[in-house]
């Protein structure tokens, strides 16, 4: 069935390091894709999204490009900060069902 | 808009008691979702509604769990009787289109 697979964490980086969190999906067609972020003690927040192939979503220095050839939507940031420490969830739209299909989440810890 | 509102934010109860979690979605949103998050299982979709009608409740773990949406601005998730393994953070989310907006969650502890 339709699914989202993201790299397992935890990921630990030093401040100012480059970040990549891999995400791949299975789907028929080209669903909208999302990255959500969950800071400690909070609910999930939409970080960025892309609605069609080759779209690039970006927000707060994070970017992800919708790659239909590789069915991927990897999250990147050039220079992470301690405040980026959180759990990141990749998701795809479920289509006519109206729901989102989430990956398992990747915990990022950034050390000063 | 105030965003998705959930109450209570924290609930501690004893095993066997009834627990009711509440959610007020964002005005104008036509989908409402209930999720459960634990360290062991991660984020699980329990049930969701479209225009107040339950669409998929296959994620509800057992008959002790029930959810209602009597109108477009209110939903409840009830656990009766509660058990220690129900301890988790329960999130409500709403959407109009394909972006979901999450509430702050209710942290439930069943002793």
Residue to test with chain B: of A1, A4, A100, most B Cβ within 10 A? A100
Which residue in chain A is spatially nearest to B33 when comparing CA positions? A99
Q: Tens digit of pLDDT for each residue in A63-106? A: 999 999 999 999 999 999 999 999 999 999 877 677 888 999 99
Q: Is A35 on the interface with B (CB under 8 A)?
A: no
How far is B83 from B96, CA to CA, in rounded Å? Answer: 34
How far is A36 from A73, CA to CA, in rounded Å? Answer: 12
Q: Tens digit of pLDDT for each residue in B52-89? A: 999 999 999 889 999 999 999 999 999 999 999 999 99
Whether residues A43 and B104 touch (CB distance < 8 A) is answered with yes
Token couple for A17: 């390091």
DSSP structure class, residue B111:
-
């Amino acid at each position: 069935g339709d699914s989202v697979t993201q790299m397992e964490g935890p990921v630990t980086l030093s401040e100012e390091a480059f970040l990549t969190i891999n995400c791949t999906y299975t789907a028929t067609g080209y669903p909208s894709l999302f990255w959500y972020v969950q800071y400690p003690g909070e609910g999930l927040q939409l970080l960025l999204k892309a609605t069609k192939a080759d779209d690039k979503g970006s927000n707060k220095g994070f970017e992800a490009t919708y790659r239909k050839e590789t069915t991927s939507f990897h999250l990147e940031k050039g220079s992470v900060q301690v405040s980026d420490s959180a759990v990141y969830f990749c998701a795809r739209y479920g289509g006519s069902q109206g729901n989102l299909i989430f990956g398992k989440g990747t915990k990022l810890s950034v050390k000063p | 808009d105030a965003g998705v509102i959930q109450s209570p934010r924290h609930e501690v109860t004893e095993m066997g008691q009834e627990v009711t979690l509440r959610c007020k979605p964002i005005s104008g949103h036509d989908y409402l979702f209930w999720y459960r998050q634990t360290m062991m299982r991660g984020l699980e979709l329990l049930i969701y509604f479209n225009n107040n009608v339950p669409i998929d409740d296959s994620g509800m773990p057992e008959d002790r769990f029930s959810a209602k949406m009597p109108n477009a601005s209110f939903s409840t998730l009830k656990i009766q009787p509660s058990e220690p393994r129900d301890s988790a953070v329960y999130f409500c989310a709403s959407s109009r289109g394909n972006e979901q907006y999450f509430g702050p969650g209710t942290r439930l502890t069943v002793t």
